[in-house]
Structure 1
Amino acid sequence: MVKVRLWGSLRQAAEGQTEVEVEARTFKELLDRLVETYPGLAPQIARGVSLSLDGVIYREAWFTEIRPESEVVLMPYMTGG
């Protein structure tokens, strides 16, 4: 199981939870499991999310490996200039 900290508006879409646990080995599996468990996350995930994995931020790195002991933070895409 991977502990995932949800950032910002993602918390509301996951029934107000700040941290959830899912069974996943990659970024893609993580997103798929989150949508299965928390359907309210689907629209935001479809718009795009970033993954902070042990302090490194990834976007669309679908097959990035996630270890059970990894620090995982999921957040909406950051925009601005």
Structure 2
Amino acid sequence: MVEVHLWSGLRSLTGGREVVEIQAETTGELLRELVRLHPQLQAPIDAGVSVAVNGRIIAAGLSEPIPEGAEVYLMQRLRGG
């Protein structure tokens, strides 16, 4: 089980929940399972999100493994400039 911490803008789409528990082994599974459990998250995820695992923002794609007990945050996509 993975605890996913959501940024404040997403909490209204999950019934006010700050943390959502899901079963996922990769970042891709994590995003798919979030949408399956909370379909309202589809639009924000499609618009672009960043997934941080143990303090590291994952930029390598959807196949990045999520270790057991990892600290996971779903955040607005960070854009440089």
TM-score (norm 1): 0.90
In 2, Cα distance between equivalents of 1:21 and 1:39: 15
1:69 equivalent in alignment to 2:72: no
Q: What residue in structure 1 maps to residue 57 of structure 2?
A: 57
After TM superposition, list the pairs within 5 Å mapping 1:1-81 onto structure 2. Answer: 1-59=1-59, 61-79=61-79, 81=81
Ranges in structure 1 where 5+ consecutive residues have no aligned partner: none
List gaps (5 residues or longer) in structure 2: none
Aligned equivalents of 1:59, 1:47: Cα separation in 2: 15
Query: What's the TM-score, normalizing by structure 2?
Result: 0.90
Q: Percent identity?
A: 40
Residue 48 of structure 1 aligns to which amino acid in structure 2?
Answer: G
Which aligned segments of 4 or more residues in structure 1 are displaced greater than 2 angstroms?
78-81
